[in-house]
Chains A and B, each alone.
Chain A
Amino acid sequence: MPLRIIVLAKQVPDTKNVTGEVMKPDGTVNRNALAAIFNPEDLNALEMGLELKERYGGEVIVITMGPPRAVEILKDSLCRGADRVILLSDRRFAASDTLATSYTIAQAIQTHLMPFDMVLCGRQAIDGDTAQVGPQVAEKLGIAQVTFADRVLAIEGECVRIRRDLGRAQEIVLARKPVLLTVPKSANSPRWPNARLLLKYRRARSAFEVEAEAKRQGRSVDDVVADLRKRGLFIETWGAEDINAELARVGISGSPTKVKKVENVVLAGRNLKLYSADDDGIRSLVTELVEERTFG
């Protein structure tokens, strides 16, 4: 049965190439000072979605919430093979914390994209590093969530068999559809854009871009939009009304999080010793515990 897979993606500052005044005095990130990129683990989520589509058929829908320029990662998604992309963008969404963000995304899904089979998102974003939005979306949608999901092993009727990457162990779980997965870097190597799709979708435009495009082409905005729609190049853009959002729950008013202070924390390395998971390993662990007088 064909799958409807929704991928949640975020445009983030390129924290690998930090330059200039990156932090604002209030402790939040000055996004304009950094190049914007596709959050790396969201690319892993997109790749997982595309591979599932190749295996089982269906469609991959990518949603991002962000300022108008976040449309760049949606164009990128189209060039990598996404079937449909949606930009959630509204001035009133600005300054959302994870609670408001997950509300907005869940609201968009519930309003327009039901029913679906899976929501895939990156394990966490490299800017906030909270890893909260995915799980919160699952809660709001009332569906199962599997974090650190690095493989979808099989889809068995209404259930999905998933492998979790727990660093030094793997766990295999069975979850009922629909399910939300958060995908770590170890899951796959994201594909590059496809040249033919790139040649097509480089011309895709969001609602925010049509005015400039109309001016460039010397045509009316309506004409340009109609033309873009006809060629499948108009990127859907949803604001608060489009998703029936309660204004009190979006943007700054829906965000209880306050940044109190930012400090540089150096994590002190603890003494870590690894034992192999076999009889010899257990034997040497017990011997050591006895010798150290932890036991006996």
Chain B
Amino acid sequence: MDNFFTDNPDIQWHFNHLDLEDVVASLERNYTEAEQYDDAPLSYADALEGYRAVLEMMGAITAREIAPLAPEVDREGAHFENGKVIYAKGTQRAMDILAKSSLMGMMLPRKYNGLNFPGLLYSMAIEMVAQADASLMNLFSLQDIAQTIYEFGDDNLKDRYLPEFASGKITGAMILTEPDAGSDLQAVRLKAVEQPDGTWKLYGVKRFITNGCADVSLVLARSEEGTVDGRGLSMFLCEKCPELVIRRIEHKLGIHGSPTCELQFNGVPAVLVGQRRMGLIRYVMALMNGARVAVASQAVGIAQAAYEEALKYARKRVQFKRPIIEIPQVYDMLARMKSQIQVARAITYEASRLVDRRRMLERQLEEKPDAALRARLKEVSSWASVLTPIAKAYASEMAVRVTCDAIQIHGGAGYMREFNVERLARDARITTIYEGTTQLQVVGASVGITSGAFGNYLAQLGERGFRPELAQLASLARESREKLSSCVTFLKDFNDRTYSELVSRRLVDMACDALGVHLMLLQAERDPARTAAAEKFTRDALPRIRMQADYITSGDKLVIDKREELL
């Protein structure tokens, strides 16, 4: 592929159906930004032209410059010498290109030298970067840190750091995890001690920190002595300094280009970001939600790369006197891979779009408090908070399956270093773990599913008129909604918390499939050329949905009752 944007028909389809007219108008203050900045768009159509120009360039940079560096970045990896982290040569070169092209502050306002793009465009960009080199995405997407400073920091912090982030002069890190606080961030112990002058000092140890060598970091720390839960945690900003010691970097299965650091804080000077006690419950949750959509995009990019490799190989590999792509088991595998990638992309973009719309409504409400707007924000917010974990869970699990299948299609060759698919499978593996494991996403998504928010969302997608040719798909979509809602009702009546937890993964898997069925149906409604893709996914998904519904509504507590016997 010569260009990861223009050569990918699925991304092109989404770009041609962005549906962001209201979001862009609000971001551009009804196109009055253009009076102040000569790179601001004059209209929605003009904005789209600009987005296309930038994404086309990114598509070329990622395909032609970054992708060829990825195998060597994987072999060399980031290294640790004399207490310092050194990026692999290819990583450094790629970062230099992205910085020089002003692509490190895509969502930041122009005032801070950003591009003022909607999040959905940023998701597309992340996907292309990950398709080229999954590990580079971890550095590229640290833009989310600048975004968090923008949303919650004071003007002083913003003016000081944001232009530097946007120009790529500095990199960031989000420092959350500790040896005893992984999924359970409420257990964070890193101590923040207030100084007489109002600044803070940080003491303790952090682990598994992506790009822990960053110039500027956001740190979650315990500011309230004697507290034990999330309400005693605040968010701090610190700079690289002698008191912040990198102890080591990890040797990982994949994403070798991304340095993962263990850090020791020996009284690191820091400033408070936002309000005390809001660190975890407000700021880190916002940061993590952004990062979760980003990981979903990363997963889609890796899977796309694996699919391209598998397709190319299956076309050229001849066995039994024919290219293996002519073998039904092989082409069905490829068709399923592609269909799952399409659905993961559709879900991820939809989640991004909802987050964009939520931000828009928040901006509008700040300007003009209004009851109808507030109600709309509440609704969109509830949808964004359920689609975010769903996108992360679905896309990452999909990437693990698809990269695994890509190896399978290569046979023995795929197991070897000479081909890219083994790297892609190693890189994909982290996506179901970091920024919250799939199991944590399931916990998050279950809330929105059992509350009915997700059901409402699906209903407004599916309860509308469709072309007569789509009658069967529309009725299968209705079936998926009904099955999901019958499971939700069953669990409510069954009223057994342990059982609900036990089957929550099945419930979320069902929700992902049902959402995929709906989004593909809508694509087919807008574009008849998408009908076969919608049919493929729906026919694969419905049997799974029925199976999960059977299981969930069985009320079978075997695993709970006989756990010890079974383990």
Contacts and interface: CB of A to CB of B under 8 A. Distances in A.
Given A199-B50, A202-B50, A194 B100 contact: yes
A192 B101 contact: yes
B115 interface: yes
A55 B39 CA distance: 26
Given A200-B38, A231-B38, A195 B57 contact: yes
A199 B39 contact: yes
Given A192-B100, A194-B101, A194-B102, A199 B57 contact: no
A44 to B, nearest CB: 16
Contacts, number: 45
A195 B101 contact: yes
Nearest to A199: B39
Given A192-B61, A231-B38, A232-B38, A199 B54 contact: yes
Contacts of A191: 97, 100-101
A56 to B, nearest CB: 19
A191 B57 CA distance: 12
Interface in B261-277: none
Contact of A199 (B53, B97, B113): B53
A199 B38 CA distance: 8
Contacts of B54: 195, 198-199
B49 interface: yes
A193 interface: yes
A196 interface: yes
B38 A195 contact: no
A231 B50 CA distance: 17
B103 interface: yes
Interface in A176-228: 191-200, 202
A196 B163 CA distance: 13
Contacts of A193: 57, 101
Interface residues of B, number: 19
A192 to B, nearest CB: 5
B472 to A, nearest CB: 44
Contacts of A192: 57, 60-61, 65, 97, 100-101
B103 A195 contact: yes
Interface in B35-84: 38-41, 49-50, 53-54, 57, 60-61, 65
Interface in B291-341: none
B115 A195 contact: yes
A2 to B, nearest CB: 22
A40 B152 CA distance: 46
Interface in B108-124: 113, 115
Nearest to A217: B42
Interface residues on A, range: 10 to 19
B541 to A, nearest CB: 38
B49 A202 contact: yes
Contacts of A231: 38
Contact of B115 (A196, A202, A232): A196
Most chain A CB neighbours (cut-off 10 Å) among B49, B50, B97, B101: B101
B61 A196 contact: no
A199 B100 contact: no
Q: Which residue among A191, A192, A198, A199 has the maximum number of chain B CB atoms within 10 Å of its CB?
A: A199
B61 A195 contact: no
Contacts of A232: 38
B102 to A, nearest CB: 4
A196 B100 contact: no
A195 B102 contact: yes
Contacts of B40: 199
Nearest to B106: A195
A194 B57 CA distance: 9
A243 to B, nearest CB: 29
Contacts of A202: 49-50, 53
Contact of A198 (B57, B65, B97, B113): B57
Contacts of A199: 39-41, 50, 53-54, 115
A230 to B, nearest CB: 10
A200 B41 CA distance: 9
Contacts of A200: 38-39
A13 B457 CA distance: 52
A200 B50 CA distance: 9
Nearest to A192: B101
Q: Which of A195, A196, A231 has the most CB of B within 10 A?
A: A195
Given A191-B100, A231-B38, A232-B38, A196 B50 contact: no
A192 B15 CA distance: 23
Interface in B385-437: none
B90 to A, nearest CB: 13
A196 B97 CA distance: 14
Nearest to B49: A202
A105 to B, nearest CB: 29
Best-surrounded residue of A191, A192, A197 (most CB of chain B within 10 A): A192
Contacts of B65: 192
Contacts of B49: 202
Contacts of B102: 194-197
A225 to B, nearest CB: 17
Contacts of B38: 200, 231-232
Nearest to A233: B38
A231 B101 CA distance: 22
Interface in A214-263: 231-232
Contacts of B115: 195-196, 199
A148 B100 CA distance: 27
B111 to A, nearest CB: 12
A189 to B, nearest CB: 9
Nearest to B47: A199
A231 B38 CA distance: 7
A199 B55 CA distance: 11
A15 to B, nearest CB: 16
Given A193-B101, A196-B39, A200-B38, 7 more contacts: A192-B60, A192-B61, A198-B53, A198-B54, A199-B39, A199-B54, A202-B49
Which 9 A-B pairs give the minimum distances between C-beta atoms? A199-B39, A200-B39, A195-B102, A199-B50, A192-B101, A196-B102, A200-B38, A196-B39, A195-B54
10 contacts: A192-B57, A192-B65, A192-B97, A195-B103, A197-B39, A198-B50, A198-B57, A199-B41, A199-B53, A202-B49
